[in-house]
Amino acid sequence: MASQLSDNERWMMSFYRYSEITGALFFGRIAALVPAGQLQEDLTKHFADESMHSWYWTEAISELGYRPVSLRNAYQDAYLEAAGLPVNLMEILAITNVFEKRVIGQYSRHLRVPDLNPVIKKTIDRIVEDEKWHIQWINKALKSMADKYGDDTINKKLQKYKKADDEIYGKLLQENQERLQFLFNNTENAGEIRS
C-alpha cells in the first residue's frame, strides 16, 4: 500500500525506528549483565519490546511504500553529554524512567496530528501500550532500590535526568524545527515547540 508520506513524516518515523534500535541494543547488553531474577526478566522483556518497536516502525514505513532514512544519531546519544555516564543500575533505571516518559509524551503529541495516517496511528498505539509497562516496571524496580540508595537520592537522580532530558529535547526541537513543525501545526499543540 503506497501512501503519500512527507519527507518530514518519513524522517520522524525513521528517527523513532533508530531510537528503538538503540534502546534495544542498550537493554540487551544490560540484561546480559544483570544476575538472574525478576530484574533480569524485566530488562529482557524491555529489550525485546524495544526490538519489536523498531520492527513495527520498519514495517510501517515499508507498508507506506518507503524505506527508512539512514540516521547516525539517536535521541539517547545526547544523554552522556547532558547528564554524564550512569554509574550503577539505579541511575540507568532513573534515566530510563525519564526517557520513557518523554517517549510517551512524544507519541501522544504525534497522535494529535490532524489527519494522521492510519498506519502511523496504529503503530504508535501498539507501541504506547508497551511504553506504559516500561514505566511501571521501572518505577517498581526503583522503589525496590530505596533501601540501598534512599528515596532522596533516587528522587535527586530523577530530577537531574529530567533536567537533562528537557535540555536534550529542546535541542532536538531547535535543530530539527522544520522537520518537526508538522507535529505542532494544530491549535492543541500550538506553542509547544520549545519543549
* Residue 161 falls inside a structural domain: yes
- Across the range 159-172, mean pLDDT stands at 91
Tell me, yes or no, whether 88 lies in a domain: yes
What 3-state DSSP class applies to 115? coil
Whether 1 is in a domain gets the answer no
The verdict on residue 83 lying in a domain is yes
Structural domains of the chain, count: 1
Domain around 37:
7-194
pLDDT of residue 189 exceeding 50: no
Q: Cβ–Cβ contacts within 10 Å for residue 189, how many?
A: 15
The CATH number for 25's domain is 1.20.1260.10
CB 180 within 8 A of CB 110: no
> For residue 166, what are the contacts with CB-CB under 8 A and spacing of at least 6?
195
Of 43-57, 76-90, 98-112, 152-166, the least confident: 76-90
pTM of this prediction?
0.88
**For the residues 83-102, what does the mean pLDDT come to?**
92
H helices of the chain, in order, are: 7-33, 38-63, 79-83, 89-111, 118-144, 146-149, 151-175, 177-180
**Domain-located, residue 132:** yes
Domain-embedded: residue 60:
yes
pLDDT tens digits along 122-154? 999 999 999 999 999 999 999 999 999 999 999
